[in-house]
Amino acid sequence: MKSFTKVDPPLTEEELAAACRLVMAYEIATTYPDETHVFRSSYEIAIQELLHKTADGTIEPARVRMGWQYYARKGLAAVLIGVLLAGITMPEKVMAGCKWLITVVEEFFADRTEYRYTSDISEDAALLPMTFGYLPEGMEQKVEKIKEEYIKLVFSTQMETHYFIISQRSLQESRVRLLGSNLEIYDTEIIVVQDEIIEISAREDNIFFSWIHDLWHISGQTDLSKAELIQILENIKFEA
């Protein structure tokens, strides 16, 4: 038996039913039959029509209208059951469908997804070169390419057992792929460094990274460990 606890003492359905009976008892007590009324002819005609309909069997039985909410709920339940069954019988296809849906959403609503990127820096801001607070032992800079909108630095150890390449480009110049766009292709993860999101993906023995900082796209690759890469990135500074 359901009870309504919001009121004190809680109200039970039985008490509610008893109260309803009291209300109806009042209705009965205060309703009086009209013994004098003579029913009009139009009323009789309406009844005649009803008579024909019932004689022909054309009178409609009581129909229940469920309302759009009912059909919406049923439809949603059917779709969910369908997806569930499809998920059980064809998991690969469902996963592929989900990935396709994610891609579509990201492409069409890129500005609205969590990957939206905005910056307060002016578009004309000059490229601020990177300085490295940390480099693994023995790692030295071997190549440096600096242009107005582009910096590329290559580091490697003496015996070239490890390498680290990093480039910095203006966002306007760089063909930046959307963060998260390759999540399904490689073993990719999102890490947070210097309070910013960096995408790293591992391919064979190499780690690739992609980082959007203000108006610059910083990307590169290395065969160092992930921990060392994070330490390098954590200690990069952008100075005029």
Q: Which range touches other proteins (CB under 8 A), out of 41-49, 98-106, 108-116, 196-204? A: 41-49
* Closest distance to other proteins from the beta carbon of 78 (Å): 18
205 binds other proteins (CB under 8 A): no
Question: What is residue 39's DSSP assignment?
Answer: -
Residue 191 CA to residue 141 CA, distance in Å, equals 25
* Closest distance to other proteins from the beta carbon of 8 (Å): 7
Q: Which is nearer to other proteins, 7 or 88 (CB)?
A: 7
Give the strand pairing for 196-203 and 206-213: antiparallel
Q: Which range touches other proteins (CB under 8 A), out of 43-51, 88-96, 108-116, 120-128? A: 43-51
Which helix (H) or strand (E) covers residue 212, if one does?
strand 206-213
Which 130-169 positions form the footprint of other proteins (CB under 8 A)? none
User: The dihedral of CA 96, 102, 106, 109: what is its sign?
Assistant: positive
13, HSE (Cβ side, Cα atoms, 13 Å): 2
Interface pick for other proteins out of 1, 3, 32, 137 (rule CB under 8 A) = 32
Q: Which is nearer to other proteins, 7 or 240 (CB)?
A: 7
Listing DSSP states for 92-104 in one string gives HHHHHHHHHHHHH
Q: Which range touches other proteins (CB under 8 A), out of 14-22, 86-94, 107-115, 184-192? A: 14-22
111, HSE (Cβ side, Cα atoms, 13 Å): 0
Asked whether the beta carbons of 46 and 53 are under 8 A apart, the reply is no
Provide the token pair at 46. 């309406």
90 binds other proteins (CB under 8 A): no
Q: Which range touches other proteins (CB under 8 A), out of 36-44, 167-175, 204-212, 215-223? A: 36-44
Which 67-86 positions form the footprint of other proteins (CB under 8 A)? 67-70
Residue 199 CA to residue 192 CA, distance in Å, equals 9
Binding site for other proteins (CB under 8 A): 4, 6-8, 11, 13, 15-35, 37, 39-40, 42-44, 46-48, 50-51, 54-55, 59, 61-70
